[in-house]
Chains A and B, each alone.
Chain A
């Protein structure tokens, strides 16, 4: 029996629709499930007080601080390094074996499991450099973890800028650096910001690399050399040790809301910037 192409077309369309619907449903289900179980425990006290009895009671204030500080340090370090590397590879280095090796290397790094970065950060920052389990060690480790993403997205964004912009700037007597800072980077900014947002998202949600390097102290950190616990780690410990599923869901709900919030704010910022620029 021969199947008519029109019939195949129908079937394919249905299957594709079902996969899409399935994906969206699972996603919505996860979000709904976590919010449903988590929202009930969230109030101002939950946000602003320290945990008691290992997290069975009390809030998650220190974890919120940790979740802000670690990705912040990671971004502060990884953005200039990553964008700098991308600029060097695209604007200063001629395409050749070296650039291909570097690109291959970054791609491999992007695929390395985060726990390996955790181990690396533990050996280098915690032990060898003597930073101990600390915000600094954790932030540095996360920085290296998200570096490949930032390099990749920045490089693509910079490459997408038409050569004609560079040509005009140079023909008007601009230097290469002026051309990069005044023409290339502003035009490439949306792409670069996307990479940075991806990086923030990854580091906010990271657990393995953070437990190894920032530890899991529940005290409010007083300096960069103090250990701290992020929300993701807190959730992991609460759930795994069976300390309090309720508070675990509460933490997860805040984590999800935070990530949504970060995305919305960055899109808003980007739109404002784009409107001003073009």
Chain B
């Protein structure tokens, strides 16, 4: 299968600290790829290199290449706004704006210049339907997003990303603030979305990776130790370090 995202010899520094070491990875489209590994191993860093939010941090440096649809996204020609539209991100804690449900979802389209009310209405509705929120929220669009429960908020954050027409969704431990039952709902949602999206999810929960993902990468100290189909990673890991982690001997 053709890869949607390609990381070639990717090395990343915070100042002098090397947070990613020569990572090579081909992320397949319309599938879920999970990144697992102990805290501090560089999962979030890797995720943020894919939508270039890492460069908002002072003193960082990147070597190697990140290709999306075969194009180098660190090329000087790349329009960063277009890139961030294409690659949406969902964060660890639900971080809805202190705005209404509607305005949260419409935020992206509005900053990208959609003005017509009918058009916005349609985008909001579609995004909420896709995240299974429409039935519950269609009469509460004017409510403050912050009044919703955490899993609704997190799904709203996903809807907000769908609304900008992203093709790739990056999720950084999206369920760490949620309880097990709502976590399952988010997981089901992700599985339903992969038909149309390329999803990369960071998680420190191995069961979650095993449940939702098609491919998994195990990271340790900035290295991608092993990357393979999830079934293979979890049943027959090739690397000793992966095996130790998966069997719970470490991490």
Contacts and interface: CB of A to CB of B under 8 A. Distances in A.
Interface string A148-183: 000000000000001011011111111100100011
Contacts of A134: none
A169 B88 CA distance: 11
A277 interface: yes
Contact of B97 (A165, A170, A171, A175): A165
A168 B97 contact: yes
13 contacts: A165-B95, A167-B53, A170-B56, A172-B84, A172-B85, A172-B88, A172-B108, A172-B160, A173-B84, A173-B112, A174-B107, A174-B108, A182-B111
A13 interface: no
A173 B99 contact: no
B98 A171 contact: no
Interface in B68-125: 81-82, 84-85, 88-89, 91, 93, 95, 97-99, 107-108, 111-112
Interface string B152-176: 0000010011001000000000000
A168 B164 contact: no
B233 to A, nearest CB: 28
A85 interface: no
A172 B91 contact: no
Given A187-B98, A277-B98, A278-B98, A173 B108 contact: yes
Nearest to A166: B56
B89 A173 contact: no
B146 interface: yes
B89 A171 contact: yes
B186 to A, nearest CB: 18
Contacts of A94: 58
B183 interface: no
- Listed residue (A94, A170, A173, A178) with the most chain B CB atoms within 10 angstroms of its CB: A173
Given A165-B95, A277-B98, A171 B107 contact: no
Contact of B95 (A168, A175, A187): A168
A36 B87 CA distance: 68
B166 to A, nearest CB: 9
Contacts of A277: 98-99
Interface in B37-68: 51, 53, 56, 58
A59 to B, nearest CB: 47
Interface string B136-160: 0000000010100000000001001
Interface string A56-71: 0000000000000000
Given A167-B53, A187-B98, A277-B99, A173 B81 contact: yes
- Listed residue (B58, B91, B99, B112) with the most chain A CB atoms within 10 angstroms of its CB: B99
B98 A175 contact: no
B164 to A, nearest CB: 6
Given A94-B58, A182-B107, A278-B98, A172 B161 contact: yes
Nearest to A183: B97
Contacts of B95: 162, 164-165, 167-168
A277 B97 CA distance: 10
